[in-house]
Structure 1
Amino acid sequence: MSPVFAHGQLRLYLLSLLEEGPRHGYEIMRDLEQRFNGLYTPSAGTVYPRLAKLEEEGLVSRGDDGRKVTYTITDAGRAEVARRQSDLGDLEDDLDRSVSQLAEDVRSRVKGDAADLRAELKAAAQEARRVAKPASGGYTSRGQASGEFEAAINELRQSARKLVRSRHTSDTVRTAALRIVHEAQRQIDQLK
């Protein structure tokens, strides 16, 4: 994934946010997350060092109300924002492109994850059918058939759970996995 902000853009964006009014660091991170529709959340390690640098440059001031640190733009910071208005317009265009690219990356990952899940479940179902023997014969014992069936079910369960429990799996993929499991259940019910 490409960087969300090009060199120097986060600095300018922070100044433009503070021009709207004083903010706590957490509020700045939340505002950035909202600007990116939740697709990007900056870390404290990204935001606070840049705020400290802006403070060193005299573009923002830092106030401590005892519980939280509040950042406020200075006159020098306002002058910088005014001087760079054309850059701000370009920045907004770049951010719009970044949001679109992040959304496309998410769509691609979800589509790929769902396709991978379908392929894994299809392969597990094919394997289960391949090793399954008719109930009327072919097995030396009912226990062997039951054991192979349980192994196939457990393999499917483990694959599905691994995918669904992964922190990288989106809600869309989880929903797709559930649909696939329900479809498998429906097909099994038709065998009755």
Structure 2
Amino acid sequence: MSPVFAHGQLRLYLLSLLNEGPRHGYEIMRDLEQRFNGLYTPSAGTVYPRLAKLEEEGLVSRGDDGRKVTYTITDAGRAEVARRQADLGDLEDDLDRSASQLADEVRSRVKGEAADLRAELKAAAQEARRVAQPATGEPMSGRARGEFEQAINELRQSARSILRSRKTAESVRAEALRIVHEAKRQLDQLK
């Protein structure tokens, strides 16, 4: 995945957010996630060390209300934001490009996952047709039954993996459901 922030940009963005008003660390992470329409969520390991560094530099202060730590910009922090207004405009342009690149990467990954799922489901349907019980009512051999059950289980695992993954886009889940319905329709035609 492409980096979202270039060197020093997250620092400036954090100051800009805190210039709008005090925030808890979680609120900052949520604001960043919203800025990127859910395509990027910074980790606590990314945000808190930078906030600590800003505090060391005297640009933010930290207050503890017992439950949560609140970060507030200091006068020195406000002065830096004021001095770097031109950089903030460039930063917004860079973040727009980063968001666009992230969206392109997600679309590409979703397309690839959907293609992989279609191929797996097609192979499972072909395997099901290959080992299907003949219309004569003859019993299926133990080996054929085992292969059939294995193909069904592999299909089930693939579909559940897509369903349960937090990284799977809703469009991929919808495509997976469509493919499962299509596989069922094809199997029903064999009856």
TM-score by length of 1: 0.88
Partner of 1:35: 35
Any unmatched runs of 5+ in structure 2? none
Over 3 Å counting, the alpha-carbon distance change for 1:171 and 1:79 in structure 2 is same
CA drift at 1:71: 1.2
Residue 112 (structure 1) shift: 0.4
Structure 2 CA distance for partners of 1:126 and 1:104, relative to 1, 3 Å: same
Per-residue deviation, 1:61: 1.2
Whether 1:144 and 2:146 are equivalent positions in the alignment is no
SS at match of 1:142: coil
User: Shift in Å at residue 189 of structure 1?
Assistant: 2.6
What is the match of residue 161 of structure 1? 160
Match of 1:129 in 2: 129
The answer on whether the counterparts of 2:114 and 2:176 sit within 8 Å (CA) in structure 1 is yes
CA offset digits 1:58-110 (Å, max 9, x no partner): 11111222222211111111111111111000000000011111111111111
Partners of 2:19 and 2:78 within 8 A in 1: yes
Per the alignment, in what secondary structure is the counterpart of residue 6 of structure 1?
A: coil
* Correspondence 1:38-117 to 2 at 5 A: 38-117=38-117
Give how far 1:133 is off: 6.0
For residues 146-192 of structure 1, give each alpha carbon's deviation from its aligned partner in whole angstroms, at most 9, with x where no partner exists: 71544433333233334433444332222211111111222233344
Letter in 1 for 2:154: E
Rate the CA distance shift 1:62–1:159 in 2: closer, same or farther, 3 A. Answer: closer
Indicate the residue corresponding to 2:119 in structure 1: 119
Instruction: State the SS of the aligned residue for 1:143.
Output: coil
Give distance in 1, aligned partners of 2:156 and 2:92: 46
Q: Which moved more, 1:109-118 or 1:157-166?
A: 157-166
Aligned residue type for 2:176: A
User: How far did 1:134 drift?
Assistant: 3.3
1-side partners of 2:179 and 2:61: how far apart? 55
Distance in 2, Cα, partners of 1:143 & 1:133: 6
For the aligned residues, what is the CA RMSD?
Answer: 2.0
Change (3 A) 1:65 1:157: closer
Amino acid at match of 1:67: R
Q: TM-score, normalised by structure 2?
A: 0.89
Q: CA–CA distance in 2 between the matches of 1:99 and 1:185?
A: 38
User: What are structure 1's unaligned runs of at least 5 residues?
Assistant: none
Instruction: Give 1:29 shift.
Output: 1.1
Residues 4-23 of structure 1 mapped to structure 2, 5 A cutoff: 4-23=4-23
Distance in 2, matches of 1:150 and 1:113, equals: 24
